[in-house]
Amino acid sequence: MAERAILGFLQNNEQIPDSGQFSAEHNLDHDQVKNVIRRLQGFRYIDAQDITRKTWVLTEEGKKYAAQGSPEVQLFLAVPEEGSISAVELKKKLGDSIDSFAWKYAKENKWVEMEKKQVSRKVQHVDDVVQALLLHIQDGKEIDEAGIVFLKGRKNLIEQMKWNGYSSIKKGPNYAPERKMVSTDLTRENLQNWKELEFKEYNFNAKGAPVEAGLLHPLLKVRKQFKDIFVQMGFEEMPTNNFVESSFWNFDALFQPQQHPARDSHDTFFLKAPCTTRTLPEDYVERVKRVHESGGYGSRGYNCDWKREEANKNLLRTHTTAVSSRMLHALAQKPFVPKKYFSIDRVFRNEAVDRTHLAEFHQMEGLICDRGLTLGDLIGVLKDFFSRLGMSKLRFKPAYNPYTEPSMEIFSYHEKLDKWVEIGNSGMFRPEMLLPMGLPEDVRVIAWGLGLERPTMILYGIDNIRDLFGHKVDLGLIKRNPICRIGI
Ligand SMILES: N[C@@H](Cc1ccccc1)C(=O)O
């Protein structure tokens, strides 16, 4: 309706000087008129100037008087044309809606007088100037300065407001008395009738609709990066899909004594159901039992009882080295071929959760088995692996693992933090682990395990592990985080 009014008006008139005035004169809502002007301007049907100015509007009280008349006039009308009315009666008649100013103004204007508490008229006709001025303002019409001063002199009837609208609204280059509907889509029908239709022009500045797509979690992104490096270096991925493992493969096969503190429920999550494993390779179990109890293969063993029940207990794997022990055992069942294996997957530890520890995290595991490998090979492979990640300063510190000898902790120099940080653990698997499996005596296995979260946090400046992993991760992080936007 507003659109037709504006375009129609401009057909016969040079311009619309003011959108507010136009709205009032045509009984249109000014906000709606403004929207239409904005739209028509977009289509270049019209040109218009934005304007802001201060304007007077009615307060709640002002609106009341505009509707009912000023209080002094209401008072005047309540007094009979002839005779008089008692002040008490008059008050009753007017009720609470009229304040004490009504009497003051009616008396000042010499409209009424009071004698012996009886009120009578002094004139027979009065004009309600206040109401007339208020109605003018309500209709959006201009009133002169004197009128404003007069109303402002009265209590709280009008207030100033910022007003915005349009001025000098004129025909634009695309003006037509009626807006043609333009086609916006290249549908089959539109293309068939393209000659009759007018198409909306392309807006090359418009933003495209955001594309909603699946995004990788930062950890998965970094996992992919590590995976690629392993693959480039000729490693094969080990199958890591079972989180539940038996103590046998997680500990015993790795020559980890049954009394080792890591096998306590304070450190490891044991399963309630099923609480024990169903099958183990019996002949191998026998050899593992023997190496623990009395040694062999040049070892003295631990010289204490080895219990099958302890080995049968199911747990959530505490390291991916459990996967390596299964893989190496499987490898030993066939004629030996050298292998390079890796895995990146979840492990679980019964840890107190804090800013840098979670009860579950990811480990990257790598191993190479071949004849003639030395500690020098291990150091060389690790240097190669980390330099591909841009971490070329490495240091190794002697360490202890039940399943490796020698063992080394790996430290990397962190440029931003300006200090050496521990990033992993490594070593050469012990003969007590490899020989019971059936691997040839001259085969050596070099291996290492690294956390995935620690380097991810260091690389991307995340200081709370719970922001990276677990139920508190904000999905927004996945959408916004730059690690997630680099292509994969
Ligand atoms: N399993 C060790 C890492 C490791 C793997 C292989 C050899 C030596 C160490 C850990 O969890 O920290």
Q: Which atom of ligand 1 is nearest to the CA of 426?
A: 8
**Whether complex ipTM tops 0.90:** yes
Mutate to test the pocket of ligand 1, among 315, 327, 385, 425 (most ligand atoms within 8 A of CB): 425
- Tell me the CATH class for 219-485: alpha beta
Beta bridge partners of 355: none
Residue 7 Cα to ligand 1 middle (Å):
80
Beta carbons of 404 and 488 less than 8 angstroms apart: no
List phi, psi (to 5°) of 213.
Answer: -140, 160
Q: Is the CB of 366 under 6 A from ligand 1?
A: no
Residue 422 Cα to ligand 1 middle (Å):
13
Exposed/middle/buried for residue 180 (C-beta within 10 Å: 0-12, 13-18, 19+):
exposed
Q: Is the CB of 425 under 6 A from ligand 1?
A: yes
Residue 449 Cα to ligand 1 middle (Å):
4
For residue 387, the SS3 value is helix
In the predicted model, is pLDDT for residue 487 greater than 50?
A: no
pLDDT in tens, 206-231: 888 877 778 888 788 888 889 999 99
Lowest-confidence segment of 105-119, 122-136, 458-472 by average pLDDT: 458-472
Residue 64 Cα to ligand 1 middle (Å):
83
Residue 402 Cα to ligand 1 middle (Å):
10
Q: Is the CB of 426 under 6 A from ligand 1?
A: yes
In the predicted model, is pLDDT for residue 9 greater than 70?
A: yes
Q: Which atom of ligand 1 is nearest to the CA of 450?
A: 3
Residue with CA at minimum distance from ligand 1 atom 3? 449
Beta carbons of 437 and 348 less than 8 angstroms apart: no
Q: Is the CB of 319 under 6 A from ligand 1?
A: yes
Region 145-163 average pLDDT: 86
Residue 286 Cα to ligand 1 middle (Å):
25
Q: Is the CB of 404 under 6 A from ligand 1?
A: yes
First to last CA, the chain: 54
Residue type, 123: V
State the pTM of this model: 0.60
CA distances from 201 to 68, 170, 173, 198 (A): 53, 22, 14, 9
pLDDT in tens, 29-75: 999 999 999 989 888 899 999 998 888 889 998 998 999 899 889 88
Q: What CA–CA distance (Å, rounded) separates 381 from 396?
A: 13
Region 377-399 average pLDDT: 91
Residue spans of the domains in the chain: they are 71-127, 219-485
List phi, psi (to 5°) of 50.
Answer: -70, 140
Hey, what are 487's tokens? Answer: 């292509």
- Percentage above 70 pLDDT, the chain: 97
